[in-house]
Structure 1
């Protein structure tokens, strides 16, 4: 029976992918999930009794390497930034798995990156390049290390000589996930905190910048295309593809994942009424601010003292990173997965009511 090691299986994205794997393969795969802490492991196994929990995280390099050496497929839906050594440990383990089979089976590694790789300046402008994961793959593979995800993407590509690798690079992720820990998107707390602090909606400049969004369950279906291809190959029954489909694995197997393009102004237009309905904000007004103002007020929080003359938060702070997010363009085309027949099914604006309700409910419960 094929062995799958899952990292990040309790996260928003990872929880959705794990759920789909267990749903679609109820009795033909063995799944181990790396989990931080016994309590979380207990909650995971309670929901999914077939899962075997492995205690550890992306900084437990020996555990990662050993567990990966026993896996045919490793799916990493955990955070990649700053986890270079953990990713390298996974690839060493998978290389050992291949060598242990005398090269008869090459294992698979599915890595989660992100389209913030191509963020531009956060000016709230609509002027920006569109990036395509086929037409622009040489440039995407050669971006300097200063770009978010560039370092870890390179580590994964370098592992392609020993392991079948693929990189899934989503835009912003929306919608409810079956994750046991993070059912709402990771962007939700920051957006609601900033709106609460402004007591209204907000834009960077005029909010003309465009974001790529994908529903978490649509994203999970992209992962499943790769998982099912790997399982078929491991079973000696590779899936036949059309002639125009590029190889699913390898150093250029980079999958932008997006379901729609929406300006931040239109995003906020859909969100503001929901926030007002739930009492998160006092006004349906949408304020035009700059990145520094958004970062300052996000850092202060709804109950903090906002000082418009205060120094901006450090460039590498979470507050500044989130504020930059509001004003950047993320214009991507997922041509690779389109050629595989994948199509999105959901719109981000349609998810706001359920996401905000669930987030506020959990926030109140954890207060």
Structure 2
């Protein structure tokens, strides 16, 4: 019988998932891991296999039977593909329960949720005084069920309480920075960066001719560099799997990831400056979008309001339980990285 630690990884081709997977494979004990990644097509499967040397299986979050089958085989499941895939989460948990019933060992389930569950209705008009810690379970429990909060987290909390899986609910802030490594820099790279939030805003600015904000752009979100985000996941993974530290899970297993905080106006202004320097637009100063422009650039007023909200969070658990300390916190570095993200987006627009 194999002594390998089996990992079923969902979201390997994504901006978050790909960078975290590379970091997991750089773990000192990675030679004991047997990773199988779920991918949608043969092209991506071949790219991942060539870049990382892991196994792949073709499928999607809609393939409930497949999710259950491969979760049952896994000591560890990472779900980095969708924050609120309710049916997929149930299918994964069904597989983990089957594994526990057969082996008596509790598998680990790391689920990427979304800090957007904290959104308010600021519409860009003000900076909220409320900053929610991941220790504030009373507030987390009272978060309303909405389109961006399907209560997937409650499924994980219940599974942990039922004793057949150890679960972790991870909610990163807005992630920025270019992911690097064999998955992104090789001969057949996964182009995950163009899916980042910053690149979406850059594309909208290019279409408008200047950055567009909702209201005053006074609302703020947390931000975390792609490398600091991956480090946070790895620390949590290491503590949970190898016992390097006592770590919360289940009911207490919410982990926010944030390093700095910036208003919408500040970030759009930096994007504007980068696009002006590239000759893509002629005006760097953000302007308020009309209701029609909000629909044009965001798809709907509701989606625009999502980015015009405050989501002020504090990741206390990572800092206090795992000693995590983000390295990318300097304002100058933040501006440099946002401008680099914008340059990548500008190149994608021309392609």
Greater per-residue helix proportion = 2
- Residue 239 (str. 1) matches residue 244 (str. 2): yes
CA positional deviation for 1:294:
4.0
CA positional deviation for 1:68:
0.4
Query: Distance between the aligned counterparts of 2:221 and 2:115, measured in 1?
Result: 10
Q: What residue number does 2:133 align with?
A: 132
Q: What residue number does 2:99 align with?
A: 97
Secondary structure at 1:251 match in 2:
helix
Q: Which residue, 9, 13, 35 being the options, matches 2:39?
A: 35
* 8 Å CA contact 2:11, 2:80 repeated in 1: yes
Q: What residue number does 1:217 align with?
A: 227
Aligned counterparts, 1:322-333, within 5 A: 322-333=303-314
Consecutive unaligned residues in structure 1, runs of 5 or more: 233-237, 242-246, 300-317
Query: Distance between the aligned counterparts of 1:335 and 1:75, measured in 2?
Result: 22
CA positional deviation for 1:185:
4.8
Secondary structure at 2:248 match in 1:
coil
Q: What residue number does 2:57 align with?
A: 54
Secondary structure at 1:328 match in 2:
coil
| Most deviating of 257-266 and 122-131 | 122-131
CA offsets 1:142-198 (integer angstroms, 9 cap, x no match):
322126224211222122122100000111111112452303452134312321232
Q: What residue number does 2:22 align with?
A: 19
Consecutive unaligned residues in structure 2, runs of 5 or more: 185-189
Q: 1:181 to 1:285 in 2, by over 3 A?
A: closer
Q: What residue number does 1:352 align with?
A: 338
CA offsets 1:230-251 (integer angstroms, 9 cap, x no match):
331xxxxx3344xxxxx42222
CA offsets 1:114-142 (integer angstroms, 9 cap, x no match):
111010014211134211110x2122023
| Most deviating of 211-220 and 124-133 | 124-133
CA offsets 1:339-365 (integer angstroms, 9 cap, x no match):
021111225423123212223334434
Query: Distance between the aligned counterparts of 2:339 and 2:117, measured in 1?
Result: 29
Q: 1:286 to 1:28 in 2, by over 3 A?
A: same
Aligned counterparts, 1:138-157, within 5 A: 138-146=138-146, 148-157=148-157
Q: 1:342 to 1:321 in 2, by over 3 A?
A: farther
Secondary structure at 2:206 match in 1:
helix
CA positional deviation for 1:295:
1.6
Secondary structure at 1:68 match in 2:
helix
Q: Which residue, 267, 285, 301 being the options, matches 1:320?
A: 301
Q: Which residue, 185, 191, 199 being the options, matches 1:181?
A: 191
Q: 1:193 to 1:126 in 2, by over 3 A?
A: same
Query: Distance between the aligned counterparts of 1:183 and 1:326, measured in 2?
Result: 19
Q: 1:144 to 1:230 in 2, by over 3 A?
A: same
Query: Distance between the aligned counterparts of 1:203 and 1:86, measured in 2?
Result: 35
* 8 Å CA contact 2:61, 2:67 repeated in 1: yes
Q: 1:196 to 1:357 in 2, by over 3 A?
A: closer
Q: 1:68 to 1:111 in 2, by over 3 A?
A: same
| Most deviating of 265-274 and 158-167 | 265-274
Structure 1 length as normaliser, TM-score? 0.85
Structure 2 length as normaliser, TM-score? 0.88
CA positional deviation for 1:12:
0.1
Q: 1:202 to 1:240 in 2, by over 3 A?
A: closer
CA positional deviation for 1:322:
4.1
Query: Distance between the aligned counterparts of 1:279 and 1:294, measured in 2?
Result: 22
